[in-house]
Amino acid sequence: MINNSVSIRKRINWLTAFVVLLVVSALVSGCSVEESSKVHRVGILNGFSPFTDIAEGFKAGMAELGYKEGENIVYDVQVANFDPAEEAQIIKQFVDDDVDLIFTFATEAALSAKTGTAGTDVPVVFAFGVLEGNDLIDSVRQPGGNVTGVRFPGPDLSVKRFEILHEMAPHIKQVGIIYNANYPANQSQLDELHPALASKGVSVVGIPVSSVADIEADLQARTASDDIGMDAILIITDDLSQSPDGWPLISQFAADHNIPIAGSAAFEADTGAVLSYIPNGFATGQLAAPIADKVLKGTAAGEIPVVTPEADLRINYALAEELGLTVDKGLLSQAAEIIY
């Protein structure tokens, strides 16, 4: 949770900076404060701290478009880390502050922003938003309402992630998928994965959970048994399996039993997965900038088509070798980064 006193001080500083910018701009240009109101206020809600590079990419993209932080744009950046109540509180504060735009990521934060801005004129631009299994938008071409952004093609990425894992470890027959049973984006991913795995003669070992404690209990039970019931793990777009508390449990379990993990988030390839396959966060943030620019210049968010980013493959070659996996030159040539 964000410390209330710290948040209040940050907001006072942010609002003070905004007022100072207006006054200075008016004095320099010789125009009124009202005329100098082109200092845009953008609230940024980061739903998961490892995705900070998305915000940095967004700011960089905005700078390239002429939005200079501290001159004609002010950002209020907040982090919620998969806390729905915190997300709702932050969005409410953004609305109360009458920001010109909310930029938010990932799916849960985007949904919170849509709900929290309903009935207002505050536009929302999202990134890393899964569109399947929820009502975030009406359609890719016509998002509708006050929302648009950069999607996260969850089902497609999950299938591709498995295909790469299978290429590296063709011997696998049972792939464990630990997922939050209450996470709306998961069912669409599972629907795509079941036939994809079956086509390779691989079965899905589904492990539905509702808390990190459930993850720990399941993995402990498997460790205590004669057969852990899987020979690989596939991480899908999920909040619990990639949370700060959930991921270490999974990566340690895989290390203890010498089984590979196909990771989702980029940081997972550095901390226990043999690969990660996901759009680059910084580049995704940059993709969102032209969309935000259109919104700030008057185009309704719901009329701007949602865009889809390309994904980057990261391979932990050192770990793959340690596990005896096959990583041929063709696969290495596809990697955006190889970890030795």
Per-residue pLDDT tens digits for 141-164: 999 999 999 999 999 999 999 999
Token reading at 315: 């391979």
User: Can you list the domains of the chain with their CATH numbers?
Assistant: 4-152+280-310 (3.40.50.2300), 154-278+312-339 (3.40.50.2300)
Q: How confident is the model at residue 2 (pLDDT cuts 50, 70, 90)?
A: very low
Per-residue pLDDT tens digits for 202-257: 999 999 999 999 999 999 999 999 999 999 999 998 889 999 999 999 999 999 99
Res 38: pLDDT: 86
Per-residue pLDDT tens digits for 108-122: 999 999 999 999 999
pLDDT over 70 percentage in the chain: 89
Report in angstroms the alpha-carbon separations of 311 from 24, 36, 78, 153, 266.
43, 40, 26, 9, 10
pLDDT at 13 over 60: no
Res 237: pLDDT: 87
Res 3: pLDDT: 44
- 230's CB contacts (< 8 A; 6+ apart) are 174, 175, 176, 205, 222, 259
Res 184: pLDDT: 77
Cα–Cα distance for residue pair 130/108, rounded to 1 Å:
9
What's this model's pTM, rounded to 2 decimal places?
0.80
Cα–Cα distance for residue pair 307/240, rounded to 1 Å:
26
DSSP per-residue letters across 126-155: EEEE--TTS-S-S-SS---TTEEEEE--HH
Per-residue pLDDT, averaged over 256-267, amounts to 96
